[in-house]
Structure 1
Amino acid sequence: MHDPVAPPLQEERARFTGEDAEFRRLVTKGALLELATAGFYRFWLATRIRQHLWGATILGGDPLEYLGTGRELLYGFLFALAILAPIYIAYLLLGLAAESYKAFASLPLVLFFIAFGQFALYRARRYRLHRTAWRGLRFGMGGSGWAYSWRAMLWGAAVIATLGLALPWAAAALERYKMRNTLYGDLQGSFVGRGWDFFKRGSWIWLVGVVGVVLWIVLLGGVANSGEGHGAKPHAGAAALGGLSMLVLGLVAVFFYGAYKAIQWRWWVEGVRIGNVGATSDLRTWALIGNYWKFIGWAVLTLLLGVALLAGVSFALAHFGVVNFDALGSKSGPHPAFIATIIGWYLLLLLAMGVLWRIYFVQRVWKLVILSLTLHGLDAAREVKARETTADAIGEGLMDSFDIAGF
């Protein structure tokens, strides 16, 4: 008598229904409101961005829901600020006093703040999961932020000591801790991805990167020593070659970064499990690289337009006699109108770059990843029981205080 054959796992392609134009309007309007409210609208903007992305993500025919509020993020930020402000002041005073006696005496305080940042990252993830629902049930997350923090610190030291070779194993270990503390209803999360698999996929990036950096350092060393005689300056051609090499290195880095992120996303997606539910990804490397190049192109164009705008406004101020640029170096100092122009130009440029960042590093990457997903075993998520859990927004506030919140 033959054993019954297990039915194949249900497979379904993920969908993303958000419109690029709608998201672009959302973040552009949000940036202007951030400017008008001295930055306080950022909490409501982050909430609206998540509502847009979550609501447009369709898994198994049903969208995700984001249930957090801007008020929660604001309260979390203020509470975190009340904790961090005294620590910042104490750090400043103790750091100044310690450095007057011994160099690097404040290093333990720096390490503490790095550890605190890892704690904030974990708590922020916990908050977002507790505010995410699918088919009427919320996700959840337990575990300790400090337990994650010391793990991240130790693995970070190993990554530095091995010049990045330990990164795949560090990523796998940290993801295992996060996922085994992740829940959907009563389904337990897990991470089955292995560091060795990540290493095999991305080792060529590490090898080419190390060789490239070494060759670049040798080239710069040759440029620095290209002068005739001791203490002579390098030839103009050699200096130009050094500058060109830096530009080329930066442009090539875009390709390697896109390749690395594509490998990382595919490896991560294939390792995540919620109960028996898993996924695979066919994320295309060139799609990510192209997305990053679009960001660079628009950023360069925005910068050029910004410089042209500043030049035009400055010319107009000089033409109408508002600012005398010949007297800017005098003891009277720059004219208030010119100072206001510079500040306004800087803020507008900063907001424009923020809009581009949210479009190409948040929404477009999210869209590419979601559209690459094939979900497996969704039938295992039908009989899930709800859990009554919640989480505060302090972690998000800590992230905001460290300026490491993604969106």
Structure 2
Amino acid sequence: MPVVFTGTRRELGGVLLRGYLLLVPTIGLYRFWLTTWKRRFYWSHTEIAADPLEYTGNAVQLLLGFLMALAIFVPLYGLFFYFSTLSSQAAIVGYGGVGILLWFLTGYAIYRARDFRLSRTLWRGIRCDQGGSAWNYAFRRFFWSLLVIVTAGLAYPFMAANLWTYRYRHSWYGDRQFSFVGTWRQLARPFYLAYGIVLVIGASGLGLGSAMGAFSGPPDPVGFLPLMLAALLIGLVFLYYRSRELTQMFSSVRLGEAALTVKVRARSLTGQHALFGLGLVASYIVLAIGGVVVLGVVAGSAFAGGQFDLEIFMQHMQGSLVTLLAIIFGYLLILAAFSLMAELFLGLGLWTLVARGATITGLDSLHNVRARDEDKALAGEGLADALNVGAY
């Protein structure tokens, strides 16, 4: 049976624009409602055997989880203030320690958020769930990441396979437990191939850039062209590996006799990123035109006798409340444009590619699955929202 996704960018765009408009008057609190509406959009438009997914989480749960997470972040802010009063060396050590702590907590937050989303996800009236321990996952992710750093990235296939395995072997659909048959060997070939290509491209770009004067003083702008081309090619190689990992790992998920097969093509993933880039450039051009118009209105008072007076213009810019509001509003528009394009082309694009590239066999074996109660002990996503590592 194929997985069908019926959502469109127009529908999601309407949800996002409404949410962004309400973020300002609510001082950002509406983002919990926006997240809930986004998830309901994705879930309700994803159909498996003509039955859509259902998301039962609500914004109040997300808000309560965020408020609980503040109990951790307030002391951390106090530590940052304390470190700022110390010597530079002590401050660096302190900031580094807090950074390591936050990296560890990120693993906990990711697993905890997945637990919340699954416990609020239903298909055919039967709820999913996430077992296991978020602390166990956090320790696994933390120590694997240290090994990846020590090995200059060479241990990544082992880390990825281990974390995928832990997540899915502790996932449930009703009283039926998922399983995972993937191994690091499935990732080794595409990863080490991509790794070698990146090394060659990076070394070639640096060599050509240096030969063309990119690192000499004064630097020659032409010398940066090989570096830019190398960065573009490395990005394409990364997307190639990303498509292989998604294909291999999702296709290793099992639920009893039901098996998932996913095909994500590298060119489709590249196309989504290209559309994101074009959309972002177009939106920033529109914002730039609007900014020029606003500056033109402000600069109108600086013309005296048909000549432009820079001093009057700067005084007006510094003392005008309208100018201050325009700067703040412009900054918010820049952030909103980036978030909107990222969601419309990267977030929606990835969900669409995975959903439409998926097929499931053995669905008949799930007819005798029994439902489980909702895990009401989970009050939102907490740290995941505070650290901005929640998905969809």
Scaled by the length of structure 2, the TM-score of the pair is 0.91
For residue 397 of structure 1, the aligned residue among 366, 382, 386 is 382
CA displacement at 1:347 relative to structure 2: 0.7
CA displacement at 1:242 relative to structure 2: 2.8
Aligned to 1:27: 16
Aligned to 2:249: 268
Instruction: Verify the 8 A CA contact 2:120 2:128 in the aligned structure 1.
Output: yes
CA displacement at 1:158 relative to structure 2: 1.5
Instruction: Verify the 8 A CA contact 2:131 2:171 in the aligned structure 1.
Output: yes
Change (3 A) 1:160 1:64: same
Instruction: Verify the 8 A CA contact 2:2 2:358 in the aligned structure 1.
Output: yes
Which stretch shows the higher mean deviation, 283-292 or 333-342?
333-342
Q: Does 1:157 align with 2:146?
A: yes
* CA root-mean-square deviation: 2.5
Q: Does 1:233 align with 2:221?
A: no
Task: State the Cα deviation string for residues 155-178 of structure 1 (Å, max 9, x = none).
Answer: 111212222221111011011111
Change (3 A) 1:190 1:312: same
Instruction: Verify the 8 A CA contact 2:109 2:389 in the aligned structure 1.
Output: no
CA displacement at 1:101 relative to structure 2: 4.3
For 1:27 and 1:78, the matched residues in 2 are separated by 23
* Letter matched to residue 50 of structure 1: R
Change (3 A) 1:183 1:332: closer
Helix, strand or coil at the partner of 1:404: coil
For residue 367 of structure 2, the aligned residue among 382, 398, 402 is 382
How many residue pairs get matched?
388
- Point out which structure has higher relative CO (alpha carbons under 8 A, 6+ apart): 1
Task: State the Cα deviation string for residues 240-294 of structure 1 (Å, max 9, x = none).
Answer: 2233233323433442233222112101211112222221122222111111100
Q: Indicate the percent of aligned positions where both proteins have the same amino acid.
A: 30
For residue 193 of structure 1, the aligned residue among 176, 182, 187 is 182
* Letter matched to residue 289 of structure 2: A
Aligned to 2:62: 73
Alignment of 1:313-324 (within 5 A): 313-321=294-302
* Letter matched to residue 206 of structure 2: I
Helix, strand or coil at the partner of 2:381: helix
Instruction: Verify the 8 A CA contact 1:98 1:106 in the aligned structure 2.
Output: no
Q: Which runs of 5+ in 1 are unaligned?
A: 1-11
For 1:222 and 1:111, the matched residues in 2 are separated by 38
Change (3 A) 1:370 1:360: same
Helix, strand or coil at the partner of 1:280: strand
For 2:343 and 2:96, the matched residues in 1 are separated by 34
CA displacement at 1:200 relative to structure 2: 1.3
Change (3 A) 1:392 1:219: farther
Aligned to 1:366: 351
For 2:375 and 2:247, the matched residues in 1 are separated by 30
Aligned to 1:8: none
Aligned to 2:336: 351
For 1:279 and 1:363, the matched residues in 2 are separated by 20
For residue 39 of structure 2, the aligned residue among 36, 43, 50 is 50
Task: State the Cα deviation string for residues 323-364 of structure 1 (Å, max 9, x = none).
Answer: 975356679945332222111111112112211111112112
For 1:128 and 1:285, the matched residues in 2 are separated by 28
